A and B are shown apart, each in its own frame.
Chain A
Amino acid sequence: MSLDAIPIHVIPHHASPAAPGEPGLTGNAPPLLRELAEQVRRLLESGESSAIDLSALPLSPADLDWLREKLGSGEISVTLQASGESTLKETACPGIWWVTHHNEQGAVTAQFIEVAFVPELVKAHPQDVEIGREQLELLISDL
């Protein structure tokens, strides 16, 4: 293995990094809005849903806050209890959902913005519905 160079540079304390405006913003968040606009267009035209994996992008906590603030909050908020809590919140733009998965200790394990009429996780799977029907029949037979 050849040891890679370690690049060193000094960031003066007074200079603000990267993006203009607030400290902590990298400037990586605004392009996501354009990406989302394109995904919403695809959803409307072909019904194709899509998602952006927020942990895969170089976004600072400030970027995430900025994004969340811009997208706002909508009418629906879904909470899922499945080995830790997951929240699926509609934003002020219908069809755009902010999805956060937590583990049992409450730490965030994954964060997505999903573009869909209904997020995938919310729908019941036909096989599960089938199991529910069997359960109902049991209940009815006990009447």
Chain B
Amino acid sequence: MQGPLIDTLVRQGVSRRTFLKYCATLASMMALPPTAGRAMAEAMAAARRPSVIWLPFQECTGCTESITRSHSPTLEGMIFDMISLDYQETLMAAAGHQAEDARLAAMKDNAGKYLLIVDGSIPLGLDGAYSCIGGRSNVDMLKEAAKGAAAVIAVGSCASFGGIPKANPNPTGAVSVSDIIKDKPIVNIPGCPPIPVVMTGVLAHYLTFGTLPELDDKGRPKAFFGETIHDRCYRRPFYDQGKFAKTFDDEGARNGWCLFELGCKGPVTHNACATVKWNGGTSWPVESGHGCLGCSEPDFWDAGGFYKALSVPADPLKIAAVAAVAGAAVGVGLSFANRSKKGAAKSAHETTTLADLEK
């Protein structure tokens, strides 16, 4: 498939208006000005497909699942027609030496220009022997492939921050892409798994403007990770009113009140679940009645327990006042008095302190 993208799409029965509409929606999701939708459509329609090499390392294939099963069979998948995916172990028909040859050929033919996508963390223990492909360690392959890449996209919390393989005690010595590669632009798209549209959004941005989108201090695209789950949560008004579910089957839970006291990590988690949602916009964890696990933040696995309430007081006086009003004083008071005794608290709503979360 050569030639401008729009021709490819037309051959597949995708109309120009469908494409324009897709670009307008994508621009809106990426918080670009409305006129950018049109610019995107024009640039992408004319774009030649960049070569993409996708390396899976120490991972569970959940990221690939998430992205390939997004809104199929519609436009989310369409963006994959805009790239030439030259190597992806899980998806490619070739196997063994043929697959490795395809990777090497793509790297050679597109030197300096291809995009490198990585999912999974990279184990450094025992000289990288914990995870090898075709007899070569992940760390070797990453260094080799990154050398000729225009940019590296780290998909998922493992590639972005080390993820679950890095969880204490990190038996394989797992690290993130940015721990190894220092001389290339890196975009982190964390999440366990990440939201598909974030990934397609980054690709679309690259195809349209030839650059990577604006990133925050953790290398994440600001358009999707600029706000916390809590900021955009539809249950936020209940938090503001001091209405909390105390257990998963109480009156508050049935009324859809805030899950903060049940350990929701929404207030410290930057991601777009609350606005983009999951499974084609069907629902998302909080809407299903469970708090956010914080899966797109570094070291979420070791952040002190999924069902322990956050306790991050900014203004103690204010919090104390609210707690009294809302009847939520138990946890907050404890964390103030007993920062050092976190393990000893027997209360069902034992709080996690700031120190716990940052360790």
Using a CB–CB distance below 8 Å, which chain A residues touch chain B? 1-11, 13, 50-53, 55-56, 80, 82-83, 86, 101, 103-105, 107, 109-110, 112, 114, 120-121, 125, 127-128, 131
Contact A5 B322 (CB under 8 A): no
Q: A101 touching B280 by the CB < 8 A rule?
A: no
Q: Among residues 307 to 345 in chain B, which have CB atoms less than 8 Å away from a CB atom of chain A?
A: 310, 312-315, 318-319, 321-322, 325-326
Which residue of chain B lies nearest to A49 when distances are taken between CB atoms in the complex?
B35
Closest 4 CB pairs of A and B: A5-B314, A51-B34, A82-B18, A110-B28
Indicate whether A86 sits within 8 Å of B34 (C-beta atoms), given known contacts A8-B322, A125-B16: no
Closest to B323 in A: A8
Tell me whether A128 and B16 are in contact (CB under 8 A). yes
The residue from B21, B228, B240, B354 contacting A9, defined by CB atoms under 8 A apart: B240
Q: When the two chains form their complex, are residues B312 and A3 in contact, meaning their CB atoms are under 8 A apart? A: yes
Q: Does B17 contact A (CB under 8 A)?
A: yes
Question: With the chains together, A69 CA to B240 CA distance in Å?
Answer: 29
Q: How far is the CA of A50 from the CA of B228 in the complex (A)?
A: 30
Q: What band does the interface of chain B fall in when counting residues whose beta carbon is under 8 Å from A?
A: 35 or more
Apart from A4-B268, A7-B315, A53-B33: 8 A-B pairs, beta carbons within 8 A: A6-B313, A7-B314, A8-B322, A10-B242, A13-B241, A107-B281, A127-B6, A128-B15
Given A8-B322, A11-B240, A107-B281, CB of A83 within 8 Å of CB of B18: yes
B181 at the interface (CB under 8 A from A): no
B230 on the interface (CB 8 Å rule)?
yes
Kindly state the separation between the CA atoms of A125 and B282 in the bound complex, as whole angstroms.
Answer: 34
Distance, CA A52 to CA B15, complexed state (A): 25
The docked-state distance in angstroms from the alpha carbon of A128 to that of B19 is 13
Question: Is B75's beta carbon under 8 Å from chain A?
Answer: yes
CB-based contact A109/B16 at 8 Å: no
Answer whether A5 and B312 are a contact pair too, CB < 8 Å, given A11-B241, A110-B28, A125-B16: yes
Q: A10 vs B319: C-alpha distance in the bound complex, in angstroms?
A: 10
Chain B residues with Cβ under 8 A from A125's Cβ?
16
Pair B17/A121 contact, Cβ less than 8 Å: yes
B354 & A101 in contact (Cβ 8 Å cutoff):
no
Beta-carbon contacts under 8 Å, B11-25 to A: 15-18, 20-22, 24-25
Does B288 have its Cβ within 8 Å of any Cβ on chain A? no
Chain B positions within 8 Å of A112 at CB level: 24, 28, 34
Chain A residues with CB under 8 A of B318: 7-9
Contact A103 B31, beta carbon cutoff 8 Å: no
Q: Are A83 and B297 in contact (CB under 8 A)?
A: no
* B312 pairs with A82, CB closer than 8 A: no
**A131 CB contacts on chain B under 8 angstroms:** 10
Cα–Cα distance between A86 and B34 once the two chains are bound (Å): 16
- In the complex formed, the residue of B with least CB distance to A52 is B34
CB of B190 within 8 Å of the partner chain: no
Contact B17 A50 (CB under 8 A): no
Within 8 Å of chain A (Cβ to Cβ): is B251?
no
- Would you call B35 and A50 a contact (CB within 8 A)? yes
Chain B residue numbers with a CB within 8 Å of A105 are 280-282
Residues of B within 8 A of A52 (CB): 34
Q: Are A80 and B21 in contact (CB under 8 A)?
A: yes
Give chain B nearest CB distance to A141 CB in angstroms.
22
With contacts A8-B322, A83-B22, A121-B21 taken as known, whether A56 is within 8 angstroms of B314 at the C-beta atoms is no
Among A2, A8, A107, residue most surrounded by chain B Cβ atoms (within 10 Å)? A8
CA distance A104 to B75 in the complex (A): 11
How far is B80's CA from A82's CA once the two chains are assembled, in angstroms?
A: 19
A92 vs B111: C-alpha distance when bound (angstroms):
56
Known: A11-B240, A50-B35, A104-B74. A5 touches B16 (CB 8 A): no
Given A10-B322, A82-B15, are A1 and B297 neighbors across the interface (CB < 8 Å)? yes
Q: Which one, A2, A7, A9, A110, contacts B24 given CB within 8 A?
A: A110
B104 at the interface (CB under 8 A from A): no
In the assembled complex, the CB of A52 is this many whole angstroms from the nearest CB of chain B, namely: 7
Let me know if B357 is at the binding interface, CB within 8 A: yes
